[in-house]
Amino acid sequence: MREKILIANWKMNYDFYETTSFIRNLLKVLFDKKINHNKKIIIAPSFPFLHISNQISQGTTLSIASQNIHQKNKGAYTGEVSAEMLKSIGIKKVLLGHSERKIHFFENNCILLKKIKIALKYNFHIIFCVGETITDRKKNIHFSVVKNQLKDTVFHCSLDEMNYFSIAYEPVWAIGTGLTASPKEAQDMHKFIRLLFMEQYGKKVSDKISILYGGSVNDINAKEIFSQEDIDGGLIGNSSLDMNKFLKIIKS
Ligand code: PEP
């Protein structure tokens, strides 16, 4: 049975007070009101608030992920944060490969592979993002683009290391734009990705790996997207910043 996962990617939003009060309120609503859902919920706040967020969530089923790590462990990399540092404050999950990091911070597959390797060295669970641009889709090369993204990064890892991965399919044209892939477009890509894992690592891995959809998921469209056979949850940006919308997505 594949794990259903919902990740709130808060990007560079929410200060200390907003972060801590959102997480406290979320925990209160989820547990006091005993909201019925089948998903593992992960919040990815900004670096300065990872420690406090992790402390608040201790002993609950909510977990906290970092939005990034540096590919080196320590040294003269002003402004960067390492996997070892995050591990020392109890963080065990990291988002890698997000298209905003590729666009604004020039992360390429070579850097991403280094980030994957250092994250695995510290036993992080990696939520690895893949997805095509609108130009790729118009040219009808979206399947091969996603295949190459995996081939150059995740597929350099061993069979055992697959236990540490979830994949997020995030079409770049759908992130923060209000446009979503149709449920069929998303399902077709998820099925394709699962097939790639089958070819690379076999049925056990492809049956087990969670593949999440991300790209303008909201409280209205979540149910239909999540009901697709190969979609195991979502990576949510904007809608995860609104408690009411996020709760509706959790219940979807
Ligand atoms: C994201 O940042 O990964 C994302 C999917 O954002 P949004 O939901 O706002 O499109």
Give the residue among 136, 50, 46 at the shortest CA–CA distance from 88: 50
Residue 170 appears among annotated catalytic residues: yes
pLDDT tier for residue 49 given thresholds of 50, 70 and 90:
very high
Residues 104-120: tens digit of each pLDDT: 999 999 999 999 999 99
Is the predicted pLDDT of residue 131 greater than 80, yes or no?
Answer: yes
Residue 199 appears among annotated catalytic residues: no
Average model confidence (pLDDT) across the chain:
97
Kindly give the distance from the C-alpha atom of residue 202 to the centroid of ligand 1, in angstroms, as a whole number. 30
Q: What pLDDT shows up at residue 33?
A: 72
Q: What pLDDT shows up at residue 32?
A: 77
For residue 228, the tally of other CB atoms under 10 A from its CB is: 16
Kindly give the distance from the C-alpha atom of residue 226 to the centroid of ligand 1, in angstroms, as a whole number. 15
Ligand 1 atom with the smallest distance to the CA of 240 is 8
> Which strands sit side by side in the sheet containing 165-169, from one edge to the other?
63-64, 40-44, 5-9, 233-236, 211-214, 165-169, 125-130, 93-96
Indicate which residue's Cα is closest to atom 4 of ligand 1: 237
From 42, 104, 170, give the residue whose CB has the most ligand 1 atoms within 8 Å, as the site to mutate.
170
Ligand 1 atom with the smallest distance to the CA of 218 is 8
Report yes or no: 66 and 47 within 8 Å, Cβ to Cβ: yes
Q: What pLDDT shows up at residue 214?
A: 98
Query: Domain spanning 5-251: which superfamily?
Result: Aldolase class I (3.20.20.70)
Ligand 1 neighbours, Cβ below 6 Å, are 9, 170, 175-176, 214-217, 235-239
Residues 76-102: tens digit of each pLDDT: 999 999 999 999 999 999 999 999 999
Kindly give the distance from the C-alpha atom of residue 239 to the centroid of ligand 1, in angstroms, as a whole number. 8
pLDDT tier for residue 205 given thresholds of 50, 70 and 90:
very high
Residue with tokens 């999950």: 93
pTM score: 0.97
The residue annotated as part of the active site, out of 98, 132, 142, 190, is 98
